[in-house]
Amino acid sequence: MFLFDWLFGAKKEVASTAKTPDATAPGTAAPSAAAMAPGTQIRHDPQLITTLKKDHQQLLGIFTAIVAARNAGNLSLAQTQLDRLRIGLMDHLLKENVRLYVYLEHFLKTDAVSHDLMHGFRHEMDDIGRAVVGFLDRYRQIGSHPELAAQFGSDLDAIGEALAARIRREEEILYPMYLPPN
């Protein structure tokens, strides 16, 4: 949970505006009590994986806009898009940490191999999250500090590769583990 504390501890103004899941919102109809992960109040949401994949597409779209702004030499626009990426990433990580990982933690507790795999994903995301947040912090004011542009391009490329690889692995390996209880 270090990533969670780190992301939201120092950024309370952002965290306080984060959306919380609404059981009455479209695609989040309240499932029966039987659909809860054992030992939690976290219910299986049949739309969660679809929502997380949509988040991925939005994050990749924002990242593409950052690359385009960099390529055009528009550091002010890049800064705006970096802020959008920060907000989108925090929202996505909140959903994953609360709705996916907590559910899987309880759902997979009797399957040691899958449970360990899920924990590996969670810890890996902590490391990637620290790197991405460090990157976002470093370039938060790039629009008014053009001297940062020299290193920005290579750092942006490295973050993009890490995020793309992580998204691919989540969608191919982690997300299929999210199943309703028997």
Answer for the pair 160, 131: CB distance below 8 angstroms, yes or no. Answer: no
pTM of the shown model:
0.77
DSSP codes of every residue in the chain: -HHHHHHHHS-HHHHTTPPPP-TTSTT-----GGGBPTTSSPBP-TTHHHHHHHHHHHHHHHHHHHHHHHHHT-HHHHHHHHHHHHHHHHHHHHHIIIIIIHHHHHHTTT-HHHHHHHHHHHHHHHHHHHHHHHHHHHTTTGGG-GGGHHHHHHHHHHHHHHHHHHHHHIIIIIGGG-----
* CA nearest neighbour of 113 among 65, 50, 177, 54: 177
Q: How many Cα atoms sit within 13 Å of 66 on the Cβ side?
A: 29
Q: How far is CA 150 from the centre of its chain?
A: 27
pLDDT in tens, 28-85: 444 455 566 666 678 899 999 999 999 999 999 999 999 999 999 999 999 999 999 9
Average pLDDT of the segment spanning 136-157: 95
Supply the pLDDT for residue 31.
47
pLDDT in tens, 89-125: 999 999 999 899 999 988 999 999 999 999 998 999 8
**What residues does each domain of the chain span?**
45-177
Buried b (16+ CB within 10 A) or exposed e, 48-65: bbebbeebbeebeebbeb
Which fold, 45-177? Four Helix Bundle (Hemerythrin (Met), subunit A) (1.20.120)
Neighbours of 109 (CB within 10 A): 13
